Amino acid sequence: MSERPLSDRRRHEHAELEWEVRGWSDPPGHRPDVEGWHSLGWSANHDDAVVLATALTEAGQVEYAEVWGPCEEATPGRARVCERFPTPDAEERQAIWLRAAAEHYTDGIDLPHRTTV
């Protein structure tokens, strides 16, 4: 299993179906310029979306799957929730959060480089 890629979640929302299942497969030729995440389906409820995501990962159709849907208690900055399949262990979960935070906070920022004089 490769390192779990971060999902670049864009607003693709179905008019009636609230739960989206997205899957990751390495792009052909491992091209870094090609996005590996793809929308695989929409569902009216959470349970059906989880069944689809679990089935796809267990069958090996995709390496990773995500289920995106509305938060039960939406707050500013958090209107949607994401579940990942297979479920990451504690170490992988921490690595995902650290990578996401690093990308979020350094996006468009030129970090200072220490120089010696």
How does pLDDT run across 39-66, given as a tens digit for each residue? 899 999 999 999 999 999 999 988 889 9
Assess if residue 66 is contained within a domain: yes
pLDDT digits (tens, 9 = 90+) for 3-12: 666 666 555 6
Assess if residue 45 is contained within a domain: yes
3-state secondary structure of 66: strand
Assess if residue 3 is contained within a domain: no
What whole-number distance in Å separates Cα of residue 84 and Cα of residue 72? Answer: 17
Assess if residue 91 is contained within a domain: yes
Instruction: Provide the pairing of β-strand 64-75 with 19-24.
Output: antiparallel
Taking residues 71-80, report their average pLDDT.
82
**Which is more confidently placed, 33 or 54?**
54
CB 50 within 8 A of CB 86: no
Assess if residue 74 is contained within a domain: yes
Domain ranges, residue 102 = 19-106
CA 99 to chain centre: 12
